[in-house]
Structure 1
Amino acid sequence: MGMSVTISAASADDAEHILKLQYLCYQSEAELYGDYSIEPLTQPLDDLKAEIARGHALVARLGEEIVASVRGEVDETGTARIGKLIVHPRLRGHGLGGRLLDAIEEHFARDADSAAKRFRLFTGHRSDGNLRLYRRKGYETVATERIGPRLTVVTLEKAA
């Protein structure tokens, strides 16, 4: 008998599990860009807890195990900045990232306190899987910024 994946709001109690998953998931990004000092691999637990408290975070669970997560917050302009969409490597390619992205967009679109006007996220220029997902979900490139010799950050956006 198989288990289904459930998506729910994350709490501070989930922070340590999210951080461990984040570390696992960003290994491939670090390898892709030849940089293991990227923020997702060096983020302290207290910073993650503060992000969860300040914005909104979701987790996907398979049974009791957290297997995916996403977080974000809405700024004063009504832009929901979505980040750290992570899916355990063994579950990639099954639509879980898309489900999480839909769920956090829905939260920010219907939350009376945030009333997002647009959604914004970013990824590296070599992160083809991320770019495919975001474009499939209606995001369009609004900016690119060369960060260094190996990385150009692509910013994507769509209306809420």
Structure 2
Amino acid sequence: MGMSVTISAATAQDAEHILKLQYLCYQSEAELYGDYAIEPLTQSLDDLCAEIAGGHALVARLGDEVVASVRGSVGPDGIARIAKLIVHPRLQRHGLGGRLLDAIEDRFAAASPAQRYRLFTGHRSEGNLRLYRSRGYVPVAREEVGPRLTLVTLEKEAAALGAFVASA
């Protein structure tokens, strides 16, 4: 490739690029569950801009191109909810998702200390589940949201971050 991927805070100017990448990345999830009306495929640009403004959002760039992103926010309960971790299909399985997950956890630790990190994925999304488990997340709940989809909620104690990094 010749260029390295850089991770930085997302800005309002990144929103359209993130939305297009999100649409591309969630096609495989929609196909896996037979549902093309999932929220990441129907989210509006205005809603995405509000998410970026109201929480933490990161992008990974290869040169000037946004190739990955993740978003999240910390609630009053001290739980950092991480969402929509996406990596361009051509860059998947090269560690970028893990780097972004680590980066947003670091961002939460520095800006608004969280007691725990929480995220969710579909029960058939084996790649996602594998990534999250490799980063210390453990399943804590399952919720059947339809005949074809069960959401798996995974969590990790924020204190576990330092222990995980030390053992990595």
TM over 0.5: yes
The one-letter code sitting in structure 1 at the alignment partner of 2:123 is H
| SS of structure 2 residue aligned to 1:145 | strand
1:13 aligns with 2:38: no
Name the counterpart of 1:97.
97
Q: Deviation of residue 109 (structure 1)? A: 1.0
The alignment's C-alpha RMSD in Å is 0.6
- 1:7-34 CA-partner distances (Å, limit 9, x unpaired): 0000011000000000000000000000
Task: Check conservation: 1:55, 1:72, Cα contact below 8 A.
Answer: yes
- 1:19-53 CA-partner distances (Å, limit 9, x unpaired): 00000000000000000000000000000000000
Query: Structure 2 CA distance, aligned partners of 1:24 and 1:80?
Result: 26
Task: Check conservation: 1:125, 1:154, Cα contact below 8 A.
Answer: yes
State the TM-score, normalized to the length of structure 2: 0.93
Query: Structure 1 CA distance, aligned partners of 2:157 and 2:12?
Result: 30
Q: Deviation of residue 115 (structure 1)? A: 1.1
Query: Structure 2 CA distance, aligned partners of 1:30 and 1:51?
Result: 22
How many residues were matched structurally?
A: 158
The one-letter code sitting in structure 2 at the alignment partner of 1:124 is G
Name the counterpart of 1:50.
50
1:148 aligns with 2:143: no
Structure 1, unaligned stretches of length 5 or more? none
Query: Structure 2 CA distance, aligned partners of 1:115 and 1:102?
Result: 15
Structure 2, unaligned stretches of length 5 or more? 159-168
Q: Mapping of 1:1-160 within 5 angstroms?
A: 2-111=2-111, 114-160=112-158
State the TM-score, normalized to the length of structure 1: 0.98
Percentage of identical aligned residues: 79
Task: Check conservation: 1:141, 1:157, Cα contact below 8 A.
Answer: yes
Task: Check conservation: 1:6, 1:60, Cα contact below 8 A.
Answer: yes
